[in-house]
Structure 1
Amino acid sequence: MGVFKKTAKPAKATAPKRSLASHKPFNWICTAYTISSILTRIPLWTLCFLLMPSSRLDPSWSLKRTLLVQIGRRLVDMIGRVEAPVPLSLEPGKEKDQFVTIDPASADNYQGPLNNPAVAPATIGGTWYPQRPRNLKGLGAHDSVILHLHGGAFILGDGRNDQAGYLASVLLKHAGAKAVLMPQYRVASRPGLDPFPAAIQDGLTAYLHLIEVEGVAPRNITISGDSAGGNMAIALVRYLAEHGPAAGIPQPQSAFLISPWTDPKKSLLPAKHMKSDPHYATDILAHSILRWGTREYARLVPATDPYITPQDHPFATPVPVLINLGETELFVDDGTQWAQDMARVKGNVVELNIEAGAPHDTLLLGNMMGCKKSAEGVGALVGAFIKKHQEE
């Protein structure tokens, strides 16, 4: 793999105006108020949902899941309001030998929307699951390596064990993956201020690393992502379809998307628009964190751009795509429409699964939200999808 060399230092993106709650001491006050409010309400919620099951957010949910979603949405809203900085490190840390650093590919691979004078490809980190493989050059026809882009509203997360270890374990055990690589792509929040297209550049960097450095055949690679990572996976698959041939980049074997965020531009509308959605109350997502993420990510390119908001912008791709959406999650209606629009494009192979009674992103949060069996079922569905298209 060639190394990307900067010819000039790119201009740094300017940070947008921060919310009042993100400044001291207001961030401390917001945090303290949210936590005390949750602790005060837990006994009341428990009693209410226990004595009146019909009052639960979804009648099919257990008491545990109902409580966890109630608590989760308030904590997520707090995170979105205080806008805490998210530093990333290229040190191995607890991951030790699981963690690797990945250099950019040659400059001619980053074309079109990935060629931005203000954002240059950079060296990134990545975590291998279950461990760093010694040799991936001799994989069999039915072996799969999953390149997964983690969720986090474009502003959070690192793909390491604390965040994504459960998700990786499901893909290894239930989807039958030989190995999973999660890039530590640059996030758009402080202190790095790395907006679009930084994360998609990093996704491409990791994909080319698998092919050119690790020696993985494209037929063995599946690209995936959850939530905002699902949005990024869509952008990467789109880029490979629209610019891959000219750059000489091969297509992956397949792709799957877990609770993909297909319409970020909607989060820039006043909160009342999102809160009027009937699924808002049955999910952990909050308007504050989605607005923060979109505002930061779309600093250099309008949020309406198809590579940021794929909603209403279907495209042709030779890569079979599986989309999984939770029945009660905020993204289910937009995601379903996008899947249907994609399926109508000639030549596309698109499969849609609606996960019964599930909130947002059970593959990532199933162990914390009381949805482990559902998450494991999604993992098995992913494995069957990959296997089916390997045999075609």
Structure 2
Amino acid sequence: MSDQNIKPQTTGGIWFPNAFRPEVADAKKPIILHFHPGGYVMGDVRVDGAFAARLLSEKIGCYALWTDHGEAVGLPAPRGALIFSPAVSFLAATDPKTVLENPNYKNDYMDPTFVTWGARRFVLNEPTATTYMNPLQSPFKSPCPIWVYCGGCELFYDDATEFVSKMKDIPGNEVSYVVKRLANHDISFAGNLLGWKTEAEKIADRAGRWVAELLH
């Protein structure tokens, strides 16, 4: 997938727990480049939003786990990708009916208004962007191993499961899939608010072990 209209630009970011310093002894620790959930607008690593950032740094020892276009900017190839509770069908989510008819609608806390709003703000009316908006229907050859987590009671569960299956079918892809059967959406990043704190820590532990295997 490529788009000549996409140009590199500077954007804001936050180092957690503190800024990277290449001269210190632990500079070779992996770094996680995290694109936060919630339609890319809900939550961050500040104060009460720091639950996920703390978990990732504690369990994975992060200080780049992966990057995009690495060769073009002189960075090494990705080592791996961690994907938590992914939304992989944004085009479908622009219609609130897809949420109301989802078999997990009564199990999850997300409502049609929020899901549809987030999808409509993200989706572009540009045909060349379709593969980015709808990876469920556009599986791809990954340059690195992928670890995916999803809760069994999430609105996104069926889509995530289908996406994992399609990605595994592509020769050369390495995809691991972890499911917490009774969990609703994104407990990895909101478990402290939803009563799933212990389970979220266990998921982070599993992600950390996977990363450790990649690095050794």
Q: The TM-score by the shorter chain falls in which range?
A: 0.7 to 0.9
Q: What is residue 277 of structure 1 aligned with on the other side?
A: 102
SS of residue matched to 2:133: coil
Equivalences for residues 17-36 of structure 1 within 5 A: none
Q: What is residue 65 of structure 2 aligned with on the other side?
A: 222
Equivalences for residues 103-182 of structure 1 within 5 A: 112-113=2-3, 115-116=4-5, 121-135=8-22, 139=26, 143-154=29-40, 156-157=41-42, 159-162=44-47, 164-173=49-58, 175-179=59-63
Cα deviation code 1:144-201 (max 9, x no counterpart):
21111101214x236331463100111122x23232xxxxxxxxxxxxxxxxxxxxxx
CA separation in 1, counterparts of 2:113 and 2:128? 16
SS of residue matched to 2:60: coil
CA separation in 2, counterparts of 1:138 and 1:305? 44
CA separation in 2, counterparts of 1:346 and 1:390? 23
Cα deviation code 1:11-36 (max 9, x no counterpart):
xxxxxxxxxxxxxxxxxxxxxxxxxx
CA separation in 2, counterparts of 1:263 and 1:162? 31
Q: What is residue 358 of structure 1 aligned with on the other side?
A: 183
1:343 to partner: Cα distance: 0.7
Q: What is residue 209 of structure 1 aligned with on the other side?
A: none
TM-score, scaled relative to structure 2: 0.88
Q: What is residue 201 of structure 2 aligned with on the other side?
A: 376
CA separation in 1, counterparts of 2:119 and 2:194? 25
Report the structure, 1 or 2, having the larger helix content.
1
TM superposition outliers: structure 1 runs of 4+ over 6 Å = none
The aligned amino acid for 2:147 is L
Structure 1, unmatched stretches of 5+, are 1-110, 180-220, 224-235
2:79–2:145 contact (8 Å) kept in structure 1:
yes
SS of residue matched to 2:164: helix
Q: CA, structure 1 residues 134+245, in 2 after alignment: closer, same or farther (shift >3 Å)?
A: closer
Cα deviation code 1:62-99 (max 9, x no counterpart):
xxxxxxxxxxxxxxxxxxxxxxxxxxxxxxxxxxxxxx
The aligned amino acid for 1:146 is I
1:130 to partner: Cα distance: 1.2
Q: CA, structure 1 residues 296+246, in 2 after alignment: closer, same or farther (shift >3 Å)?
A: same
CA separation in 2, counterparts of 1:326 and 1:377? 13
Q: Give the counterpart of 2:91 among 265, 272, 284.
A: 265
2:60–2:212 contact (8 Å) kept in structure 1:
no
TM-score, scaled relative to structure 1: 0.50
Equivalences for residues 183-194 of structure 1 within 5 A: none
Cα deviation code 1:296-334 (max 9, x no counterpart):
222352497111110021111230100000011110110
Q: CA, structure 1 residues 251+340, in 2 after alignment: closer, same or farther (shift >3 Å)?
A: same
1:135 to partner: Cα distance: 2.4
Higher relative contact order (CA 8 A, sep 6+): 2
Q: CA RMSD in A?
A: 2.6
Q: What is residue 210 of structure 1 aligned with on the other side?
A: none
CA separation in 2, counterparts of 1:303 and 1:354? 32
CA separation in 1, counterparts of 2:23 and 2:166? 36
Structure 2, unmatched stretches of 5+, are none
Larger Rg: 1
Cα deviation code 1:110-139 (max 9, x no counterpart):
x932x42xx754432211111123226865
1:268–1:295 contact (8 Å) kept in structure 2:
yes
Q: CA, structure 1 residues 163+148, in 2 after alignment: closer, same or farther (shift >3 Å)?
A: farther
CA separation in 2, counterparts of 1:122 and 1:304? 18
Q: CA, structure 1 residues 347+138, in 2 after alignment: closer, same or farther (shift >3 Å)?
A: farther
Q: What is residue 50 of structure 1 aligned with on the other side?
A: none
1:268 to partner: Cα distance: 2.1
